[in-house]
Amino acid sequence: MSQDNRRGGGARRPRGGRRGGDDTRKPAPEWNPRTRLGKMVKDGELTSIQEVFATNQRIQDIQIVDNLVPDLEEMVIDVKRVQRQTDAGRKTTFSAIAVVGNRNGIVGVGSGRDVGMGTAIRAAITDAKLNIIPVKRGSGTWEDNTTESHSIPFSVKGRCASVRVTLFPAPRGTGLVCGENAKKVLRLAGIKDVWSRTSGDTRTKKNYAKATFEALKETYRIQHPSEWF
């Protein structure tokens, strides 16, 4: 036996996850829509997210959002550990809340829970994408002379549990006069200037963010008098 073979100097296996160094990455699975709305998007019948909103149907396929709003930003608002006592012992899970938005009139807030922190965050982001809404922006204050859509067109209210949030239009340059968790939601929605009034336990980040989200929903549920005619 040669010296090279005794020392293992023969042909060596290339490093990699599997023998032979094969690439183990798998291509993304093909999208098979579960709903009629998803089939319409995949077939090209609906080509924008605004057309999807106009159908007034619930989004149940995350691929709809990924295809029509590719510039969505994701932000985690809070992750906390939750412990629960069971017959088998103490069970620990993670609860997360996230917000997504394109900073141009589309935003979503969602929550998720799982035994792992990473999977809980991914579940929250997925839930936020499935709950995206359009946000009507404008300049609804007499103190503002600009026509830029930097604020909201009128005051709106939102509620989640004990937290109540009221948002008011503000002139350009005011900024976001609200708590930090509400700012994260408003920024990703494309709102730059707003006044706010809150009540309840705003230290609960989840309820505060969702109350702000519910207030933004009202920008489309409420019809402005200028749209009556």
Summarize pLDDT for 136-155 with one digit per residue, the tens: 998 877 777 767 789 999 99
The predicted pLDDT at position 3 comes to 53
Mean pLDDT, the chain, whole residue set:
85
Nearest to 25 by CA among 15, 16, 13: 16
Distance CA 25, CA 202 (A): 44
Q: Give the type of residue at 195.
A: W
Section 22-50 average pLDDT: 81
Q: pLDDT exceeding 90 applies to what percent of the chain?
A: 67
Give the burial class of 14: count Cβ atoms within 10 A of its Cβ; 0-12 exposed, 13-18 middle, 19 or more buried: exposed
Which range of 1-5, 33-37, 98-102 scores highest in mean pLDDT? It is 98-102
Distance CA 64, CA 163 (A): 32
The torsion region of residue 44 among left (phi > 0), alpha (psi -120 to 50) and beta comes to left
Distance CA 211, CA 125 (A): 18
Q: Which residues are paired to 156 by β-bridges? A: 167
- Enter the pTM of the model: 0.81
Section 172-190 average pLDDT: 95
Task: Report the CATH fold assignment for 156-223.
Answer: Ribosomal Protein S5; domain 2 (3.30.230)
The predicted pLDDT at position 62 comes to 93
CA angle 168, 170, 175 (to 5 degrees): 110
**97 is written with which tokens?**
């809340």
Residue 221: strand, helix, or coil: helix
CB 191 within 8 A of CB 176: yes
Residue ranges of domains in the chain: 33-68, 156-223
Section 74-95 average pLDDT: 88
Name the residue with tokens 């999208």. 31
CA-based end-to-end distance of the chain: 96
pLDDT tens, position by position, 183-226 = 999 999 999 999 999 999 999 999 999 999 999 999 987 665 54
